[in-house]
Amino acid sequence: MKIVTWNINGVKARLGNLLVWLKDSTPDIVCLQEIKSVDDQFPRAEIEALGYHVETHGQKGFNGVAILSKIRFDEVHRGLPGDDGDEQARFIEGVFSTDKGVLRVVSLYLPNGNPIDTEKFPYKLSWMARLEKWAKERLVLEEPLILAGDYNVIPEPIDARNPDAWLGDALFQPESRRGFRRLLNLGFTDAIRAVTDAPDIYTFWDYQAGAWQKNNGIRIDFLLMSPEATNRFSSASIEKHVRAWEKPSDHVPVVAELVLEPIQA
């Protein structure tokens, strides 16, 4: 089973690229972030025509997450628990039936947190704490679980071409990195680092200053796997070539392959 996370940076602006990629890459489950669309304006018809079920948690103009799946959804849960006043659309969970039981897949878009001297940084850290609490509760179920998304965290210096350039950024603050490590320490495995510890592996290149051409990137998009998902893990990769397409997202798809067979109703 091929599961992918991709910050699409506007689904309407990148719809052509998304449809071409879906045909070429043929993923089973796709977690999208920054769809920048309300639910009833998401271009589901074009995606459903390719054989995907579509579930969204949208918001006008910014944020928004979605899950596209060739497998029928058993359940869908929208919004990260823990703050009833949080109206930002950043979290959606899909539940699926497989030959190994339930599979849970989350598409999440963790807050950026910049500037760090504003309320945006405490919101980021609070959101991470809520995610950690939620993950602890889900791990008790002992089911394959994948937390897929744009985490807006650079975990280690190796995950940036120029780490010093990010020292004042919320993505590379000690508090952000500690929050990410706490999540990993619950028992999650970073799919990409499970297959390579090589440098110069990135998932995001800014549109400015020739970042793509200079390979001045960072790795902030992750598929984190629970122990039960890791037991079924077979490979991981980054589909970097998509960044060179016309009108690309500034992020690229990140892939994890699991040995699981879907059960269709």
Q: Going by DSSP bridges, is the β-strand pair 189-190/254-258 parallel, antiparallel, or unpaired?
A: unpaired
The pair of structure tokens assigned to 57 is 């948690």
Is residue 170 within 8 A of residue 112, CB to CB? The reply is yes
Q: Is 251 among the residues known to form the active site? A: yes
- Catalytic: which of 52, 109, 151, 202? 109
The response to whether 7 counts as a known ligand-binding position is: yes
**Cα distance between residue 259 and residue 20, in whole Å:** 25
250 closest CA partner among 225, 209, 217, 227? 217
Q: Do the annotations mark residue 34 as ligand-binding?
A: yes
Instruction: Indicate if 52 belongs to the active site.
Output: no
Asked if 256 and 225 count as a contact pair (C-beta separation under 8 A), the reply is: yes
Catalytic site residue 109?
yes
Selecting among 28, 57, 169, 251, the annotated active-site residue is: 251
**Residue 150 annotated as binding site:** yes
φ, ψ of residue 244 in degrees (nearest 5)? -90, 0
Instruction: State the amino acid at position 237 in one-letter form.
Output: S
76 contacts 104 by C-beta, under 8 angstroms: no
State the catalytic residue, choosing from 150, 169, 190, 221: 150
Say whether 250 counts as a known binding-site residue: yes
* Residues forming the active site: 109, 150, 251
Residue ranges of the annotated binding site for Mg(2+) are 7, 34, 150, 152, 250-251
